[in-house]
Structures are given as C-alpha cells and as structure tokens.
Structure 1
Amino acid sequence: MASQPILLFDGDCGFCSRTIEIARRAIQPRVQFVPWQFADLAALGVTEDRADREVVWISRASGKVYGGPRALSAVLMCGRRRWWWLGLVLRLPPVNWMARGIYQVVAKNRHRLPGGTATCSLPAHMRGNPDR
C-alpha cells in the first residue's frame, strides 16, 4: 500500500468528500485518498495553495504529480477495467481542453453543489482552523 499513488482532496469540502466516496465504491481505484489537510504536503512536493485549488495525484513510483482533470484521469485509469478507457479519453484533445474548463467551473462553485458548504468557497487560511 505504501507504493500506491495518492490523491489529495479537500477534506473540508462536503462535495469533494462525497465525490471521493462515490469513486471508492464505483471505480474502486488502487489509490490512497488523503485529505490534503492531513498530508505532509512538503514531503509530497505540493503547496497548500495547489492542494486547496485542485485534486492532486502523486505517483510514488514515478514521482509525477498531476492536478485537476489529469488527476481524475489517473484515478479512472487505475480503477476497475471498465473505467480505464474513460480515463484515457479524458487525456486526449479536445476532451482534455473541455475537461479543464469544466473542472475549473466545478472547483470554483463546489460550495453551491450538493454536499458543498460556504466553507468550501473559502481559501484554506480563512477557514478558521488554527492547526494549519
């Protein structure tokens, strides 16, 4: 399990947490889902700003780091076989261009989506958690 890739997500966001639970059940990817708030970001080579802005995929085998829709593509590609093709399509132009735009709209409006709260729209440093 230590060599499994990691997907960092916003553990303070209800929409993000709910989406991760759905992915665990439906896609069953071989990945560790870690709320970025509980990760050693410096050791993973990820800034707090990036982790707060987008989901981040970290390959422990290759050291590659992907964010946003490319990270979601990686999750799909390491899941159950039937999801692999969708992950591949998500990487190809023009689908990846559209995916980037859609991802940005969803990320900026996640507080308005089911499970989202007003907290989701705040930058991490404004969420009132003194431990960060």
Structure 2
Amino acid sequence: MLIYDGDCGFCTATARWAERRLSDNYQVVPSQQADLDTLGLTDEDVVRSAWWIGPDGTRWDEHRSIAGALRAMSGPWPTIGQLLMLGPISWLARAMYRLVANNRYRIRWPGAAKCSRQ
C-alpha cells in the first residue's frame, strides 16, 4: 500500500503514476482516507512523508516509500527501486525526497492542483 498526501497536487499526480504501474494487489490511498491507527501511523507521520506498507507489514517512509513502490512494479522499476536503497544513492535520494517534500507546495505539475499545504 502506498499512502500519500491527497491534498497535494504533485503528490496526487505522482501517486496516480505509481497506481497505473502497480498490480491490483496494491492499494494507493490518500492519507486523508487511510485508517492510520490500523497502519500504526500518525497525522504527523503522513504530513511529513509518503509511506509504503509492504505485504509483510514493513513500513517505509520518505525515499524508501518510493523505492518500495518501484520495487513492486514490473519492467525496469524494481531495479531503480533497489538502487534507491543502496548506500550513497540512498543518502542522495533521501536528501532529494526531503527537498521535494519540503517544497511541494511550490511545485506546479501539469494537470495537477496546487498543493494545499504551505
């Protein structure tokens, strides 16, 4: 399951991209509609980051949530997801994730509403 900020246009557009590439075995759910208590997440958790909940219950945040979703896709995406988890690449991916997450309200994405969080 991929949990994302449904109030953010960039996040929603990115989640829809992932949803088109994931099998029906996976859910893509806006955090505003997710049962956070059942998932062991808080409001603060989902405001700060997207989350990937693996089939085994493993929870990954930030760049690891993106890596988890990519690893569940077919084609070249699992390899890219695996790379995002490796040493220096992981450090860079985390920094890039934080940069985007902290500035997502400034990102104008074609066809997506502007992020409502500022």
Are 2:50 and 1:55 aligned?
yes
Task: Report the counterpart of residue 73 of structure 2 in structure 1.
Answer: 79
Residue 105 of structure 2: aligned partner:
111
Q: Which residue of the partner structure matches residue 9 of structure 1?
A: 4
Displacement of 1:29: 1.7
Instruction: Give the Å deviation of 1:21.
Output: 1.6
TM-score (norm 2): 0.89
Runs of 4+ in 1 over 6 A off after TM superposition: none
Does 2:41 match 1:46? yes
8 Å contact 2:7–2:115 — kept in the other structure? no
What is the Cα deviation at residue 118 of structure 1?
5.6
Give the number of the structure whose alpha-carbon radius of gyration is greater.
1
The letter of the residue matching 2:22 is P
Provide Cα deviations, 1:76-117, integer angstroms capped at 9, x if missing partner: 111013211101100001000000000001000000102463
User: d(CA) in 2 for partners of 1:81 and 1:18?
Assistant: 20
Higher relative contact order (CA closer than 8 Å, sequence separation 6+):
2
> Is the counterpart of residue 88 in structure 1 residue 85 in structure 2?
no
How many residues get paired?
113
**Contact 1:90 / 1:96 at 8 angstroms: preserved in 2?**
yes
Deviation readout 1:22-74 (Å, 9 max, x if unpaired): 2233xx12321000101110011011101111001112x32211001101001
Identity %: 36
For structure 2, the residue ranges without an aligned partner over 5 or more in a row are none
**Counterpart Cα distance in 2 of 1:22 and 1:106:** 17
Summarize the Cα distance change of 1:118–1:18 in structure 2 as closer, same or farther, 3 Å threshold. Answer: closer
In the aligned structure 1, how far is the partner of 2:14 from the partner of 2:28?
11
SS of the residue aligned with 1:101? helix
Does the CA contact (< 8 Å) of 1:110 and 1:116 recur in 2?
A: no
